[in-house]
Chains A and B, each alone.
Chain A
């Protein structure tokens, strides 16, 4: 109990300390599932909240959510911590685990295609419903187990992704191939995500404005599972297509919205995702000031 209180105090102290950080607002990608090759700017911390409302056939609809702390350690390394939870209507609200993700830029210059290596560790329980990616033969029927029963299953998983991305004449095209391994002797599972997006305007207007077209971007992403090591392919897998849009405000806030549509009988029919994020620059300096350092 003492540890929980200390952790809670530390967490709120950390959130409070963000008020001392200046905000920044680069044009953010509208993707929610797909990654492009752009990493967080060094020294910047992006705090994000994402929500997924999902319909469930033969069961209760759900609302899954996660908080994400994305930190640009260097220009070639971004590290992220996720805290996940979900509410199943008519059941309960549960914390479902955490994930620690790292992305590494491989090449020093821009090339025709830009690869980024993604490595993630997930410590979650079976009640996880955030659908941040689809892997193996994940499907709608996996979500039918009541929370009390599902959360008893503990999952330790490692996940790797190869992110390939290219931006040409304002259009970004990104493809992610993922391989995930549950560490309790399950086979490797595979999945994919692809996305295309573009800002509404390619030139900035001279004045600061909230509704300028360059603050908006939109696109579409598609993601799904590719089976596992023994049954590679599309059989029993689920797939989604999702228009995506983002609105980046000069104040540093970004709002994302994405309705997703299931493409086959294994998929949820409809997911509505939205997210709110804010980027804070100068995070190490803020910590330095906070703890009395000279920096």
Chain B
């Protein structure tokens, strides 16, 4: 005979199974909605860059002239960003290309603001857990990609 306690446990088990399935499925679903390949980067919305407040947009990169910033930023990018944005920042299933003009023409302060705040409802976590100088190193690395991007290619200037 089922007691209220066993009923409760049964409900919890069902709830857990549903939540676990949903949790595992939700990321790929999000990827498909947003394109599913690097070739469909035009489906990504870069509007978040426009939301950076004026004060944040105008911030200068304090590591602009630091000779190690690009290499260090590249290392951090590979560790924390490349899984979604691609090894060469070309974009992937879950995140847009960072070689496109929208990103490359954004000010360092704007990129820093997006990195700090993430785009939480669209899948990008906040990265304020990285100390400020590390975030600026990533920004410096991203801005350095502009020079190496092919003219005429998607994202090239």
Asked whether B132 lies within 8 Å of A74 as measured between CB atoms, the reply is no
Closest to A40 in B: B125
**Contact among A74, A110, A214 with B134 in the assembled complex (CB-CB below 8 Å):** A214
Asked whether A288 lies within 8 Å of B83 as measured between CB atoms, the reply is no
Asked whether B28 lies within 8 Å of A26 as measured between CB atoms, the reply is no
Asked whether A284 lies within 8 Å of B121 as measured between CB atoms, the reply is no
Near A by CB (< 8 A), chain B positions 1-47 give: 5, 8-9, 12, 16, 19-20, 22-28, 30-31
Q: In angstroms, how far is the closest chain B Cβ from the Cβ of A73?
A: 4
Which of B67-75, B96-104, B148-156 is found at the contact surface with chain A? B67-75
**Contact among B20, B71, B126 with A110 in the assembled complex (CB-CB below 8 Å):** B126
Question: What residues of chain B lie closer than 8 Å to A199, measured between beta carbons?
Answer: 131
CA distance A202 to B130 in the complex (A): 8
Which of A85-93, A124-132, A187-195, A205-213 is found at the contact surface with chain B? A205-213
B128 at interface, CB cutoff 8 A: yes
Q: In angstroms, how far is the closest chain A Cβ from the Cβ of B110?
A: 14
Question: What residues of chain B lie closer than 8 Å to A169, measured between beta carbons?
Answer: 131-132
Asked whether A109 lies within 8 Å of B129 as measured between CB atoms, the reply is no
Interface contacts (Cβ under 8 Å), in number, total 129
**Contact among B68, B116, B131 with A205 in the assembled complex (CB-CB below 8 Å):** B68
Asked whether A42 lies within 8 Å of B79 as measured between CB atoms, the reply is no
**Contact among A72, A110, A121, A203 with B72 in the assembled complex (CB-CB below 8 Å):** A203
Asked whether A204 lies within 8 Å of B118 as measured between CB atoms, the reply is no
Interface size class of A (residues with CB under 8 A): 35 or more
Question: What residues of chain A lie closer than 8 Å to B22, measured between beta carbons?
Answer: 73
A259 at interface, CB cutoff 8 A: no
Question: What residues of chain A lie closer than 8 Å to B63, measured between beta carbons?
Answer: 203
A287 at interface, CB cutoff 8 A: yes
A55 at interface, CB cutoff 8 A: no
Question: What residues of chain B lie closer than 8 Å to A74, measured between beta carbons?
Answer: 26-27, 30, 123
CA distance A123 to B130 in the complex (A): 35
Closest to A201 in B: B131
Question: What residues of chain A lie closer than 8 Å to B116, measured between beta carbons?
Answer: 110
Closest to B125 in A: A75
CA distance A219 to B17 in the complex (A): 37
**Contact among B23, B25, B121, B123 with A79 in the assembled complex (CB-CB below 8 Å):** B23
Asked whether A26 lies within 8 Å of B94 as measured between CB atoms, the reply is no
Starting from the known contacts A79-B19, A170-B132, A284-B24, 18 additional A-B residue pairs (CB-CB under 8 Å) come to: A24-B79, A27-B129, A29-B129, A41-B125, A42-B27, A75-B119, A75-B124, A75-B125, A100-B16, A169-B131, A170-B131, A202-B131, A202-B132, A203-B134, A204-B76, A205-B75, A206-B71, A282-B83
Return 7 A-B CB contacts under 8 Å, by A number: A42-B27, A43-B84, A109-B120, A170-B131, A203-B134, A205-B72, A284-B28
